[in-house]
Amino acid sequence: MAKLYRVVKEHEASFPYSMVVRAGDTVKVGEEDEDMPGWFWCTDEGGVSAWIPGSFLKREDDGAKMIVDYDSTEHTATVGEVLEFIKEAGGWIWCTNSEGKRAWVPSDKVEKI
């Protein structure tokens, strides 16, 4: 049975683009987010930058390798919208909306139903 969440606080996607990287890809690791400890500003080999949870990275001298596939897409979610939970990382949930789109939403903006 699917785990469902209802949006209780509106969320606007932070970026109009997404970074999609695969396990084994190399990324350059920049600063850690002050507001979300454990998230790092990373740049992929194509020059696209996004926040990535540190738990998804294997740190190396000159950067990091991705441990898992990662897509930085965020939902722009409205109050009352129902989302199907897939996984959680660093205070965000990866979920599917009613249109079948998979993306992240902050876990403090949803409640389990």
pLDDT tens per residue, range 50-102? 999 999 999 988 789 999 999 999 999 999 999 999 999 999 999 999 999 99
Homologous superfamily of domain range 4-14+74-112: SH3 Domains (2.30.30.40)
Residue 54: closest CA among 31, 87, 77, 80: 31
Cβ atoms of residues 25 and 61 within 8 Å: no
Domain ranges for the chain, please list them: 4-14+74-112, 20-71
* pLDDT in the model for residue 107: 96
- Phi, psi (rounded to 5 degrees) for 108: -80, 0
Q: What is the largest CA-CA distance in the chain?
A: 45
Cβ atoms of residues 46 and 54 within 8 Å: no
Neighbours of 72 (CB within 10 A): 21
Q: Is the pTM of this model over 0.75?
A: yes
